[in-house]
Amino acid sequence: MTIRTFIALLFFVLVWLPVSSRMVKADVPVIVPLHEYENNILDSGGKLLEEQAALDIHFYDLDLKVNPADSTISGVVNTQARITGKTGKFVAHLDTVFAVSAVIYHQPDDEDSSLEFYHESGLVVAMLPGVLDTGNYLSLSIHYSGTPRKAPNPPWEGGFTWGQTHDGKPWVGVSCQINGADIWWPVKDHPSDRPDSVSLRITVPEEVMAVSNGVLRSVSQYSPGTRTFHWITNAPISNYAVSINIGPYVEMYRPFKSISGMEFPIFFWALPENRERAEALMDQIVDQMRFFEALLGPYPFRHEKYGVVEAPFFGMEHQTIIAYGAGYEDDTVFDTGSGFDDLHHHELSHEWWGNLVAAYDWKDFWIHEGFGTYMQPLYAEHLHGKEQYRYFMKRIYERIENNMPIVPEESRTTREMFEGRDVYMKGAWVLHTLRKLIGDDYFFRSLRKMIYPDGFPADIYGAENGIKATVHSRFTDTDEFIAIVQKITGRDLGWFFNAYLRHSDLPELQKQKNEEGLILTWSVPSGHEFPMPVEVWDGQAMRVVVPDGETVIPVSLSQQETLRIDPYKKVLRAGLFY
């Protein structure tokens, strides 16, 4: 065993191991044996291999060389894990475009040993020296190289984006949310297991820099013409949120005083020609950070940084290093004229929704994207008031497709959940309607409880390290959010979540006119009870009616023409704006 590997393993056992207790896991995914597993290289999540279910990943150490001249990468990825079930094999996902040259097994009290392995159908399967039992620890390195897939439509169809600046310097980005991190490094490609820490040593041409997650530990020159940037994040992180960005960046910095009392750095890495525009966007970034801290609680990763890096594609919520490619223009995502950079705002929202609080299974992915999307109209309301908020919600409604339940009952892969935009758009509208149903006080208390169940974490004052933030990263699911809302409100709202989350079609408010009055009836796809309140404006006063089977508003036929039902569009339903 090399000295570096031994130190890394010891560091893992003594330092990173206690971090795992912060991760609270929800439902158990479907587990299948290797011979029944069907791997889609360009998909992620779903069923979990037995051999991978037996591993609780704690630490990845990526040591990679990126060569923009021929669009190749090569290096070693070390995985360190605790054994949670008996296994005689180690299995990692890795794209078939790579060649694996060796799999090395490390033991603290013995020599390193090469393992027999095969690499087929996007899986690296290595035979361990024996059957490892629960409670053991594993350290294993995979040596590989090749030409990674070029992203055909980043970030939605991911891979490497090999770009160049106007003066011909390399400009490279990686995106892999839908496809999985295995399209660029060997990994347990399932959302149910986040490593507690990741170290990245990225070697690039010396004319550019490599920017990544967490904190920059060092910049070294081991060979002429290259530099190695060593980044490390000491926080649980989803595999798809691990990233590298390469370019001739200029660095901008702003200190930010958190509501926790701690000051942390905000960085922006921009191309040199865009420095002035990036400085202007930094003003927005600071304002948006203040909004999120006031709404949800302290920025989660203040012990490291908040970083934004100019990317050669639209954007992505990589933890502590947001990829930004909206061209320094406002309203590029929703086109609402709200006067703020909604792409950056959306990606920043994921530091809470997705990076701090993460779905254990992709079937609950609306917790990332629906909640993240709803933050933009809330910010428009914060900036410009109710009318702009309502217009924003109208624009979101126009993108609802109703092509699948936004929270399926069974496990899903990324590709299955990204078949449409409903986890974004319909998810945001579910939250809008919930807010109107239970009121602002209960609603925003529920959001904060979902983010920080035990209240805002205190920042620890250490004698040697100064202030250290406490990161309460955890897994969650939709059932937890429902339980939080029902406990805070003291109401049974199962009918609400069942109608909006478990069915693809929207409830419909049917109207029938007769001489007795206007008859309102709810029709819901499930046929279940749906006692949703609806406001009715008769020109003089607002009345709230609750259709329960059938509700009659006793007005004449002529008056029925002037009634405005749900005039402020508070209730998500079919035909709302028609």
Q: Put the strands of the sheet holding 98-106 in their side by side order.
A: 113-114, 98-106, 137-146, 72-83, 55-67, 197-205, 226-233, 215-220
Residue 5's pLDDT is what?
47
Comparing 204 with 526, which gets the higher pLDDT?
204
Percentage of the chain lying above the pLDDT 70 cut: 93
Nearest to 226 by CA among 249, 198, 199, 246: 246
Q: Is the pLDDT of residue 483 over 60?
A: yes
pTM over 0.75: yes
Contact 148, 184 (CB under 8 A): yes
**Where does the pLDDT of residue 389 fall: very low under 50, low under 70, confident under 90, or very high at 90 and above?**
very high
What residue ranges do the domains of the chain occupy?
A: 1-238, 359-501, 508-565
Percentage of the chain lying above the pLDDT 90 cut: 81
- Region 65-83 average pLDDT: 98
**Where does the pLDDT of residue 17 fall: very low under 50, low under 70, confident under 90, or very high at 90 and above?**
very low
Average pLDDT across the chain, whole number: 92
Contact 289, 306 (CB under 8 A): yes
Q: Is the pLDDT of residue 16 over 70?
A: no
**Where does the pLDDT of residue 1 fall: very low under 50, low under 70, confident under 90, or very high at 90 and above?**
very low
pLDDT in tens, 195-245: 999 999 999 999 999 999 999 999 999 999 999 999 999 999 999 999 999
Q: How far apart are CA 467 and CA 461, in angstroms?
A: 4
Is the CATH code 2.60.40.1730 the one for domain 1-238?
yes
Burial class (CB in 10 A: 0-12, 13-18, 19+), 492: exposed
Comparing 196 with 470, which gets the higher pLDDT?
196
Is the CATH code 3.30.450.40 the one for domain 359-501?
no
The residue with tokens 């199962």 is 494
CA angle 560-564-569, nearest 5°? 150
From the centroid of its chain, how far is CA 22? 18
